[in-house]
A and B are shown apart, each in its own frame.
Chain A
Amino acid sequence: MSDPTNEYTDWEEFEDGTLTEEEVELADDRWADAEIEDSARSIDETGDEKRNVVAELMRERAAKAQSRADDDTVDKMIGIVDGEAPVGIDDGIDLAAGAGAGKLQLVTRQTQIKEFVLASVFFLCAIVAVLGVALIFAFVAYKAFPIFTEVGFGNFITGTEWSGTEGKFGIVPFIVGSFVVTLGALAIGAPLAVMTAVFLSELASKKIRSFVRPAVELLAGIPSVVYGFFGVVVIAPIVSRLFGGVGFGPLTAWIILSIMIVPTIATLTEDALDSIPMGIREASFAMGANQWQTIYKVVLPAAKLGIIDAVILGMGRAIGETMAVLMVVGNAPQLFAGITRPISTLTSQIVLDMGYATGTQRTALFGMAAILFIISMSLVLTVRLLSRFGQEMSG
């Protein structure tokens, strides 16, 4: 894969982040034209005098394929060339030029239509995601809209009192609660996750890694309601004993949530670490740096953006977490009053009130859902912008 004469093999570097998106676009376009040329070239490397004979054969076959182009012929051609490389570079390029103009000359109109229809179907499927997001946002916003006219946007997001039965719909306590819970969980979970990822990527032997990595993946598989249940029966009593209160509040939520976001952050961080070229580590070691110095001064800075991405996505996971938080946070619609005092979050309040909410309160819950949606979407957007920023920096 590292043929220096072939600029298209550089593709892999895109995944490493060493190519910009623009460069990749360019490469992608050229790649489409030259993919055939490539294989011809690689065949040529082992070329000998037989190549003209083989090229001739290829041309004949290509001509035949054109006349009765169907899938079978193409398959046969594949077989023939597999068996009978090498072919000359010049002939290869000729062939590529003929085929590149292209590939379509080898197929019937029917196949051409089939190709087009299939491509369209794939495109439509890909669009479903866009439609889904648009629909969810539009619908939730539509359902939430009356809150702005009935309560007023300002009162809604700056009000500090919430009581469905008394008609008070201020969601400041929930916004504060969501952020308190999320940031605390990040403060514990992010270092734990990043260090676990560094351990997996840099320190662990193959044997240990094959044990720890599945553990991290299993952690991701545990349903949030089980985490919540565990929080209720195990963590809350311990917190209650150590810190007073009854054990429902931010501290318990932090402990549970920080475990829950470890897999998200650790997996993404490990991806970022793995994409750093081995060479820079070797260079660091070669200069006499020890493992810690290499991790701290070389590896972590190189993976910085990837790690920030991971933490931001972990934040998204934490802020959207519902059942586990609902079960351990105490759900009191008050402002943060201490790590063992109950608070409530956007997500948990929606579940609590949805069962009975009607009228304005119902729209208020949709308003909260819309806000959650916007928060999680902006986190995704931040990650996107960061990676573009990163490309500009390195480009």
Chain B
Amino acid sequence: MSGCRGAAITDTVNVAGSTTILPIAEVAAENFMQQNDEISVLVSGMGSSAGIEAVMSGTADIGTSSRNLKEGEGEGLVDIPIAYDGIAAIVNPDNPVNSITTEQLRGIYSGEITNWSEVGGEDLPIDLINRDESSGTRDAFASNVMDESHFDVGAVILPGTGQVREVVARSRGAIGYISVGYVEPRFGTRPVKALILDGVEPTDENVALGVYPISRVLHFFTKGEPEGATKQYVDYILSDEVQLGAVIQAGYLPVSTIEGGQ
């Protein structure tokens, strides 16, 4: 139990930011603290922007973010990619549509395409499921798919991956998007179908090869090169133990799998 820590804690690492990265950082922190009695790692999830702000202001040693830095944001931060992630468009298994193009997907999400028959499916209205604006998944989806188009404001906005998956699994006309790692059912959840995008199947291999069109990087940001306890924790996150453990369990791809990766 990480609650029973050694008495002599000399260093504390504050990790703040993305709720997407929260579980990985947390699990890693737990194991890390068991191996390093003298270091305490505090992880909190307040969203990517808050994480970037926290590391800029110095309240956190590491800011975690599931999106890239925006223009003018986080000047001078050191970017440490800790995992990769592909984003799959998912539909109900009963939906006959199997593949789609990025352009069609954009049309659907901007509200121009409103019926499945327009993309080769049955005559059924499309129920659009989007994520909230704080979501890194939405951010990645927007920058990879939407170009200059705006999201349809009439879409149902759900605040989490689990809900998006659950709703698509039970609604014939629904479409949503989630991390590739969450497509396969776990914990008795119902199946959903990932759409083939521009002819490429959303598999780990295709994401790793860089051929699948929607992907993103999960980041750690530090102010200056990490040192001391912070460096120890970052190194641990990048070690095989975490990369092949928590990162994969969480449904993401280890940084080492990417072609020409770090």
A interface vs B, CB < 8 Å?
161, 163-166, 232, 236-237, 240, 244-249, 326-327, 330-334, 337, 341-342, 344, 352-353, 355-358
B78-122 residues with Cβ-Cβ distance < 8 A to A are: none
B132 touching A342, Cβ below 8 Å: no
Q: How far is the CA of A236 from the CA of B127 in the complex (A)?
A: 14
7 closest pairs, A vs B, by CB?
Answer: A355-B47, A356-B134, A331-B157, A356-B47, A356-B49, A342-B156, A330-B156
Q: Which residues of A contact B166 (CB under 8 A)?
A: 232
- Residue on B with the closest CB to A249? B156
User: 1/0 per position for B139-170, CB-CB distance to A under 8 A?
Assistant: 00000000000100111111100010011001
18 residue pairs A–B, Cβ–Cβ below 8 Å: A166-B150, A246-B127, A247-B167, A247-B171, A326-B159, A330-B157, A331-B156, A332-B155, A341-B154, A342-B155, A342-B156, A344-B157, A353-B133, A353-B134, A355-B47, A356-B47, A356-B48, A356-B50
Which single member of B47, B134, B163, B174 contacts A232 (CB below 8 Å)? Answer: B163
**B53 CB within 8 Å of chain A:** yes
A164 touching B133, Cβ below 8 Å: yes
Most central of A236, A246, A247, A332 by chain B CB within 10 Å: A246
Dominant SS at the B interface? mixed
User: 1/0 per position for B32-62, CB-CB distance to A under 8 A?
Assistant: 0000000000000011111001000000000
Q: Which residues of B contact A164 (CB under 8 A)?
A: 133
Q: Which residues of A contact B150 (CB under 8 A)?
A: 163, 166
Please, how many residues of chain B have a CB less than 8 angstroms from a CB on the other chain? 29
**Distance (Å) between the CB of B136 and the closest chain A CB?**
9
Dominant SS at the A interface? loop
Which single member of B48, B129, B159 contacts A352 (CB below 8 Å)? Answer: B159
Which single member of A237, A249, A327, A332 contacts B153 (CB below 8 Å)? Answer: A332
Q: Which residues of A contact B156 (CB under 8 A)?
A: 245-246, 248-249, 330-332, 342
A342 touching B154, Cβ below 8 Å: yes
Q: How far is the CA of A249 from the CA of B129 in the complex (A)?
A: 12
**Distance (Å) between the CB of A330 and the closest chain B CB?**
4
Q: Which residues of A contact B155 (CB under 8 A)?
A: 332, 342
